[in-house]
Amino acid sequence: MNNYFLAIIGGGPAGYTAAEKASKAGKDVILFEQNALGGTCLNVGCIPTKSLLYGAKQYHNATHAQKYGVTAENVTFDFAAMQKRKTIVVRKLVAGIKARLNNDHCTVVNGFARILDSIRQVWRIECNGETYEAENLMICTGSTNFVPPIPGIKDNPAVWDSTDALAATGLPKSIIIVGGGVIGMEFATLYHELGVPVTVIEAMPTILPNLDSEVVQILLDKYRKAGINILTSTKVESIDGNTIKLSTSELLSTLNSQPSTLSAERILVSVGRRANLQGLEALDGLELECGAIKTDEFCRTNLPNVYACGDVTGKIMLAHVASRQAEVAVGRMLKQIPLQRIAYNAIPSVVYTNPEIASVGLTEQQVRDFYTEMEGEAGIEKAGGVEAFYEVRKLPMTFSGRFMAENDGETGLCKLVLDAKKQTVLGVHCIGNPCSEFIAAASFAVRNGYTAAEMQQVVFPHPTVSEILHEIL
Ligand code: NAD
């Protein structure tokens, strides 16, 4: 049979979630994937990095165990074994998705799919020389690493992207990471914990520029003290082999007396990702926004019965956003009442540095910018300053007994941003292990517009680090 209710292009978190949901609802679904199921997240993103980072953390903990009364001598690691374990974890998860789609009777085709045309509201897709037809189309083609137009970057064997770094069989002797965003800082953590000298070059005045600045400062101070060379407000002018020519603003270079060139065995470039639009050329008139597919609140594009979910929509490039978008889109396609929506204001995010950073909702800076714009200069002055519109509560993580027991020498921070008048929770920002595991509780509060008083009525188990969310109220 080559006629389907839904054809999905791309088998990452968006694609396979949509396929499962629509198949479970009894619809005929076909999913095209040119590589392995699971997409970037499972194969060359979240899961492999977290597997390697866990290995690095085990090594780091073993070599820093003395403060807990444990001495381990001659601790070594085997990077090849870490890589092998990573591959096994990925393989098992990919096999799990395959089995689930199989159980749901979803057809999976391995190959590059190209949209041909639409005839009488039926979309025709070509893959491996076969033509398929579908009433609805969902584009979940994801994103790829962006290669900035820096002279000397292209076809340079010393230059890696995150996929190259994950595939490497050995560790580099030294590494320069261009881009101090999420990918850059996670790889900086991995290499640093495994003893590789690391330099991070970030164009903005701070690393992780979209996160709460106080939280980021704690990481920055810790990483610099630990020996990671982090250069901010610094751009790469050109690359020659494994040497980078830097361009720092004149003032900063005088102040910091930074060198104008840097060399390392490898240069990892992680300066963002771009939507994958190949194979979609026949979608005449498909509306784009900043190089990604423009979608509405139900992930509908401007073309009839064409949906797009995940990184290709360029909204928030996170796997959990992709899968939620897929749920919402399929719900809309199946006209499931009540129609669901995505709470973009309550998307949690985690950076797997050590310590971890986890956050949800608005940062203090975003709240300040919002009120400054809303109230204008006169309104702000009348109120006695922008601080009159919001409230910030902060606590070091050491207020949690469990944190104290398990994080010797660390202070961490939990920061809560409230609306001053309504006392609703606008954002929560944490640094300290394992904040990734309890940020979802804060997401509930932001998503449901809880007030501080309502959140305080939630009972948190003792002793857990999550209690900080109660203490801070
Ligand atoms: P990013 O946007 O997070 O960071 C890129 C950084 O590079 C920015 O800080 C930017 O200022 C800097 N930059 C840009 N051009 C530069 C230049 N020429 N020189 C120096 N610095 C430059 O992008 P990323 O780290 O590549 O991650 C890509 C996407 O993948 C992001 O959307 C991210 O959220 C997602 N991701 C998420 C996780 C996670 O959830 N833990 C992990 C990895 C990736």
The residue type of 83 is Q
Rounded distance from Cα 384 to ligand 1 centre (Å): 37
In a domain, 459, yes or no: yes
Catalytic residue among 60, 192, 429, 462: 462
* 355 plus 460 within the same structural domain: yes
pTM attached to this predicted model: 0.95
- Take residue 429 and report the two structure tokens written for it: 């920002």
pLDDT at 72 (0 to 100)? 93
* 378 plus 410 within the same structural domain: yes
* 138 plus 281 within the same structural domain: yes
In a domain, 151, yes or no: no
Pocket of ligand 1, beta carbon within 6 A? 148, 178-184, 186, 201-204, 209, 235-236, 270-273, 317-318, 349-352
| DSSP symbols for 210-222 | TS-HHHHHHHHHH
Category of 310 on φ-ψ map: left (φ > 0), alpha (ψ -120 to 50) or beta: left
* Cβ–Cβ < 8 Å for 58, 117: no
In a domain, 150, yes or no: no
pLDDT at 256 (0 to 100)? 59
pLDDT at 2 (0 to 100)? 86
Closest Cα partner for 308 from 318, 317, 298, 320?
298
Of 344, 365, 382, the one marking the end of a domain is 344
* 462 labelled catalytic: yes
Of 286, 315, 344, the one marking the end of a domain is 344
pLDDT at 253 (0 to 100)? 53
* 281 plus 139 within the same structural domain: yes
Instruction: Give the CA distances from residue 322 to residues 47, 112, 310, 333, in Å, rounded to whole numbers and listed in that order.
Output: 15, 20, 4, 16
* 35 plus 126 within the same structural domain: yes
In a domain, 380, yes or no: yes
* 7 plus 137 within the same structural domain: yes
* Cβ–Cβ < 8 Å for 22, 51: no
Category of 127 on φ-ψ map: left (φ > 0), alpha (ψ -120 to 50) or beta: beta
Which residue is it, tokens 């619809």?
Answer: 27
In a domain, 154, yes or no: no
**Alpha-carbon distance 157 to 150, whole Å?**
15
pLDDT at 257 (0 to 100)? 59
Number of domains in the chain: 3
**Alpha-carbon distance 323 to 106, whole Å?**
17
Instruction: Give the CA distances from residue 51 to residues 134, 188, 363, in Å, rounded to whole numbers and listed in that order.
Output: 38, 15, 29
The CATH number that applies at residue 361 is: 3.30.390.30
* 140 plus 172 within the same structural domain: no
**Number of neighbours of residue 262 by Cβ within 10 angstroms:** 20
The CATH number that applies at residue 189 is: 3.50.50.60
In a domain, 425, yes or no: yes
Which atom of ligand 1 is nearest the CA belonging to 178?
Answer: 20
Provide φ and ψ at 207, rounded to 5°.
Answer: -75, 165
For the CA atoms of 168, 171, 174, 177, the dihedral, rounded to the nearest 10 degrees, stands at: 40
- Take residue 291 and report the two structure tokens written for it: 């190089």
The residue type of 23 is S
Helix residue ranges, H only, 168-259 = 182-193, 213-226, 250-256
In a domain, 153, yes or no: no
* 280 plus 247 within the same structural domain: no
* 246 plus 316 within the same structural domain: no
* 223 plus 165 within the same structural domain: yes
In a domain, 170, yes or no: yes
Pocket test for ligand 1, best of 271, 316, 354, 436 (most atoms within 8 A of CB): 271
The residue type of 226 is A
DSSP letter (8 states) at residue 282: T
Of 324, 344, 364, the one marking the end of a domain is 344
Q: Which residues of 141-174 are buried (b: 16+ CB within 10 A; e: fewer)?
A: bbbbbeeeebebbeeeebbbbbeebbeeeebbeb
Domain that holds residue 238: 159-271
Rounded distance from Cα 272 to ligand 1 centre (Å): 4
- Take residue 345 and report the two structure tokens written for it: 């204001």
* 26 plus 172 within the same structural domain: no
* 380 plus 451 within the same structural domain: yes
Q: Using 50 as the pLDDT threshold, list the residues of the chain that sit under it.
A: 250
